[in-house]
Amino acid sequence: MVTAVSESRAALGAETNGSAAVAVQGLRKTYPDDVHAVKGIDFEVAGGEVFGLLGPNGAGKSTTIGMLTTTIRPTAGTASLAGFDVVTAPLAARAVSSVVFQDPVVDRSLTGRRNLEIHASLWRVASSEIGPRIDEIARAIGVDELLERPVASYSGGQRRRLEIARALISRPRVLFLDEPTVGLDPRIRAELLDVIAGLRARFEMTILVTTHYLDEADRLCDRVAVMHFGEIVACDSPAALRGGFGAEVLELRIEGDGRGALGRLQADGLADEYAFAIGSTLTVPTRERGANELLLKVESYGIRTAAVTTRPPTLDDVYLRLTGGRLAAGAHE
């Protein structure tokens, strides 16, 4: 097949010696009617790094993953996986990567083992290696006792584990996890996070995970990029992103307009640019002045507080400050 051969040649030509496992430059996707899903984003993910794409529904995370996995054509810009350009060498880019999709993709009427065999075969794993590799990965992911059953009989958590095992069978250099725990109950979600956290230790790979569960990103990721309306509005390690807030924040639920109260605090020099208001809730870094001074000042404005909390800053604070909206838990992009 001429296309495949020429693409393979292009793949070799496109290879780079850079250390970035995922390199994205000026990546843009515009749908008809001028819908700008992704507006020219740039980021790099180093080999072995776990990188998170955070954002609410419609932020452009899934479109970005779609372009990186060659199921969506970029309008402009470039992206490469392990040095293979996703547009000029899509076969090679797909060969070095694997995806755990947001929704199940396994064939429910086939057994778990047969699903893994099909995936291994499509990713050109040598037939002599398929059996041992399935056994090894199934053991590591905890699905070894389920393999001979039809997938239709699996629970949601078991099916998710199988999906992860499936994605690992080809030993991908880059693994995409698209909202891996969405729709799962808290216990299964916690178990699955353990599995995902263990992936890097067991299997040498780069992981790009999209999520709107910020605790998940905080736990799993070396760095995160926050996406908002198709743009990356921040990109750093979770600790660095939280660092801007200092050691502690004061969270106040007031009776009345949060933005108005925030404006007065800022005018009096008691709140800096890291403070933000969502509805009637104010979040203000305490800095060196302490929570009591802030609280007294708020009360001196005649504003009544309904609840007061001091706590260390979280990635939620970073996200809410940057995007000005809460993440819809459990919602799909």
Partner 1 sequence: MSAVTQELPVARPAVRMNPWGPLATLARRRFQLTAGRPRELLVPLVTPILFALVIAPALKSALHTSSSYEAFVATGTIGLLIPLNTMFSGLSVIVDREAGAQRELLSAPIPRPLLPLGNLVVAVATTAFQIAVLLGVAEARRIHLHLTASGLLWFAAAGLLFTVGMYGLAEVLAGRVPKAEEYIARVPAVAIVPWFLAGSLFSIKAMPVGLTWITRFLPLTHGLALVRYGLLDDPTALHDIWGMHSTTGMAALSLLVVAVFSMLMTAAAVRVFSHTAVK
Per CB under 8 A, residues contacting partner 1 are 1, 3-5, 8-9, 11-12, 15, 17-21, 31, 46-50, 66, 69-73, 82-84, 91-92, 94-99, 101, 103-110, 114, 118-119, 121-124, 166, 173, 206, 221-223, 237-238
The whole-angstrom separation of Cα 255 and Cα 272 is 22
Q: Compute the least distance from the CB of residue 274 to partner 1, in Å.
A: 23
Nearer to partner 1 among residue 94 and residue 133 (C-beta) = 94
DSSP string, 77-128: EEEEETTEETTT-HHHHHHTEEEE-SS--S-TTSBHHHHHHHHHHHTT--HH
Q: Record the tokens describing residue 145, joined without a space.
A: 């006792």
The whole-angstrom separation of Cα 232 and Cα 252 is 29
Asked if 281 and 252 count as a contact pair (C-beta separation under 8 A), the reply is yes
Residue listed under structure tokens 């999709």: 101
Q: Compute the least distance from the CB of residue 267 to partner 1, in Å.
A: 38
Asked if 281 and 316 count as a contact pair (C-beta separation under 8 A), the reply is no
The whole-angstrom separation of Cα 290 and Cα 310 is 10
Q: Compute the least distance from the CB of residue 104 to partner 1, in Å.
A: 6
Q: Compute the least distance from the CB of residue 211 to partner 1, in Å.
A: 15
Q: Compute the least distance from the CB of residue 294 to partner 1, in Å.
A: 31
Nearer to partner 1 among residue 180 and residue 258 (C-beta) = 180
Which helix (H) or strand (E) segment is 197 a member of? helix 186-202
3-state secondary structure of 302: coil
